[in-house]
Amino acid sequence: MTRKNIIIVKAMSSFYHIKEPLIHFGYDQPMEDPRDGLTLFGPYSRTNITSAKIGIIGTDIGIKIFREWLNKVEKPVKSFDNIARPFFPGVSATYELKINHEAIKQLTIDEDDIREFLNYQDSHQRVHNLANLYVDKLTKYYQEEEFIIDIWFLIIPDDIYKYCRPKSRIPITEEVISIGIKDKNLRRDESLFEDINELQEAYKYELNFHNQVKGKLLKNRIVTQIIKESTIGYEHFLSDENRILSEKKFDSAKAWNIINSMYYKLGGIPWKLSHIRKNVCYVGLVYKKIETIINEQTACCAAQMFLDTGDGFVFRGNIGPWYNPDNNEYHLTKESAFNLIDKALKSFQEKNETIPEELFIHSKTYFNDDEWEGFEEAVKNKTKIVGVRIRDDRTFKIFRDYRYPVLRGSVLELDSKFAYLWTKGFIPRLQTILGLETPNPLSIELIRGDSDINTISKDILSLTKLNYNACIYGDGLPVTLRFANVIGDILTVGVEGDVGALQFKHYL
């Protein structure tokens, strides 16, 4: 019997709704919506982070735009009476955060250098050199200056975003510069010529400016936030009044997202889940094929661990032949599986002075016997371990006889080990839907260990509230898997050495 048939048989008897998880803010006050809680009570760690040492790196116009925007968000930012995009009260009023505008450090990128590298026809050379314009200056500051910066804002021209992504191509003009190595073997083979070796460096990295910058800065633990100039300075680039007015509608949402992310990267906890169970650890497995290596089976594995505080850490595992092109799945050896979970448990113990009572491993693929034996040996029978497979499912849709679709938090439970969970859908608080179309559910399958599918579904819905990189009502994926692709891309962007356990903020 197929899943589709089972759905028809059981739909009436196993469909129910999970109440929206609450999150706690200042004074330990619970609310549904992060923006409501922050506005009324401030962040959860409201007395821990009170000042920000900020740095800006960009062109002259980029620095000017960001300073103007930073002054703007010190005051309330209106919302155009949209309940789904509430007004932003201001940095100090919301987060009790003081920014000394006079002490902000600035590093200027020469616009002529950006224009030159943007004309490089070879995508690897273009992205590598543009990323290094920012990375080299930040690294030099880190190594030579005594004044510590908590977070650097990289304000980049839109053309960097446009032409420094995997499939970007620049227009062919007279200004195009042909520089690079066309022969793929010559890109890898060591050369006796220094200029060839310098060009070869660019081909060690994947074609993504954001990920290259993040990956190259990991070893120095430099925390950054990358923002396009037009995102916050659209009035400098638009002349059409209608387009400007359209952009203004998102001003409050941009303020919420950028400042909340900044607060988290400064070391603060904006909010905490209300009913997350103590001493329970959630680990999301991340796999990424390494495109710069010929063997298509070669991949990197990492673990994203999230504590009951909401904070997260990333551990890089071994690189090996984990990818199987026949079934499009990733699997570790027993030893590599052991090492990965052992790292997570040791880090949990350092933070909590105890080991977790339960460990939930979230993945998009199944676990084979070798992997699971490695996981079980790592917990040494002291921690209950549970394996859960989570996937975005497009098998079917459910429609309501109302104007809006199914409620967020709806569950279709097929049996004790399988359920569909709608993390997107209609939200009564916002009087709108999360998403732009009739929502698809997540398929949730208990594949290893023993637990209750209802409890697992509640946990996963709660974990959709922990995306500190955006200040929104809820996300479509649990945080254990929400950033899996980005984490994998950054860890494999140059296949450099293991940087150890780093807080999640270094990858966002």
Tens digit of each residue's pLDDT (9 = 90 or more) over 460-480: 999 999 999 999 999 999 999
Specify the 3-state DSSP secondary structure of 133: helix
Closest-CA residue to 307 (of 336, 253, 345, 270)? 345
Region of 288 please: left (phi>0), alpha (psi -120 to 50) or beta: beta
Of 227 and 79, the structure prediction assigns the larger pLDDT to: 227
Mean pLDDT of the chain: 88
Residue 444, C-beta contacts closer than 8 angstroms, at least 6 positions apart = 388, 389, 390, 418, 419, 420, 421, 453, 456, 457, 460
DSSP track, 79-118:
-TT-TTSPPB--HHHHH--EE-GGG-EEEEPPHHHHHHHH
**Confidence label for 61 from pLDDT (cuts 50, 70 and 90):** very high
* CA nearest neighbour of 469 among 504, 436, 433: 504
313 neighbors 305 (Cβ within 8 angstroms): yes
d(CA 180, CA 174): 17
Predicted pLDDT of residue 311 = 75
Query: Which pLDDT band, with edges at 50, 70 and 90, does 183 fall under?
Result: low
Q: Backbone dihedral region of 43: left (phi > 0), alpha (psi from -120 to 50 degrees) or beta?
A: beta
| Per-residue pLDDT at 417 exceeds 50 | yes
**Cβ 52 vs Cβ 105: under 8 Å:** no
Predicted local distance difference test score (pLDDT) of residue 3: 47
Beta bridge partners of residue 134, listed in sequence order = none
Stretch among 21-25, 206-210, 308-312 having the lowest mean pLDDT: 308-312
Q: Which structural domains are found in the chain, ordered by start? A: 3-21+275-507 (3.30.420.10), 102-265 (no CATH)
Helix axes 334-352, 369-379, angle to 10 degrees: 30
| DSSP string over 152-183 | EEEEE-HHHHHHSSTT------TT-B--S---
- The secondary structure element, H or E, covering residue 139 is helix 123-144
Is residue 318 scored above 90 in pLDDT?
no
Q: Do 381 and 373 touch, CB atoms closer than 8 A? A: no
Of all helices (H) and strands (E), which one includes residue 289?
strand 280-289
Is pLDDT of 192 > 60?
no
Strands 151-156 vs 54-58: parallel, antiparallel or unpaired: parallel
| Overall size of the chain counted in residues | 508
Q: Tell me: pLDDT of 7 over 50.
A: no
Q: pLDDT band for position 268 (50/70/90)?
A: very high
CA distance 474 to 486: 19
Beta strand pairing status for 51-52 and 98-99? Answer: parallel
CA distance 140 to 289: 32
Instruction: Tell me which amino acid residue 493 is.
Output: V
Asked whether residue 142 carries a pLDDT value surpassing 70, the answer given is: yes
* pLDDT above 50 for 2: no
Q: How far is CA 260 from its chain centroid?
A: 14
Rounded to 5 degrees, what are φ and ψ at 279?
A: 60, 30
pLDDT at 322: 84
* DSSP secondary structure of 19-66: PPPPEE-GGG-EESSHHHHHHHH--TTTTT--EE-EEEEE-HHHHHHH
* Residue 303 binned pLDDT confidence (cut-offs 50, 70, 90): confident
Q: How far apart are CA 479 and CA 493, in angstroms?
A: 21
Dihedral angle over CA of 143, 144, 150, 151, nearest 10: -80
Are residues 60 and 6 in contact, defined by beta-carbon separation less than 8 angstroms? Answer: no
Tokens of 316: 């890089």
What residue type is 380 in one-letter code? K
pLDDT score of 8 more than 50:
no
Residue pair 29/40 in contact (Cβ under 8 Å)? The answer is: yes
User: Band of the pLDDT at 191, cuts 50, 70, 90?
Assistant: low
Q: What is the pLDDT of residue 121?
A: 92
Asked if the model's pLDDT at residue 1 lies above 50, the reply is no
Between these two residues, 175 and 20, which has the higher pLDDT value? 20
Tokens coding 243:
């387009």
In DSSP notation, 313-351 reads EEEEEEEES-EETTTTEE---HHHHHHHHHHHHHHHHHH
CA dist 282 and 361 (Å) reads: 6
With cut-offs at 50, 70 and 90, classify the pLDDT of residue 12: very low
What is the C-alpha separation between 466 and 194, in angstroms, rounded? 48
Pull the structure tokens for residue 386: 């549970």
Cα 210 to Cα 507: distance, rounded to the nearest angstrom? 10
pLDDT of residue 5: 42
Whether residue 100 is predicted with pLDDT greater than 70 in this model: the reply is yes
pLDDT higher than 90, residue 377? yes
Higher pLDDT, 445 or 303: 445
- Greater confidence (204 vs 153) lies with 153
Structure tokens at 22: 């609450």
User: H or E segment at 128?
Assistant: helix 123-144
Q: Which residue has the higher pLDDT, 6 or 91?
A: 91
Mean pLDDT of 404-409: 90
Query: If residue 211 lies in a helix (H) or strand (E), which one and from where to where?
Result: helix 209-217
Average pLDDT over residues 129-143: 97
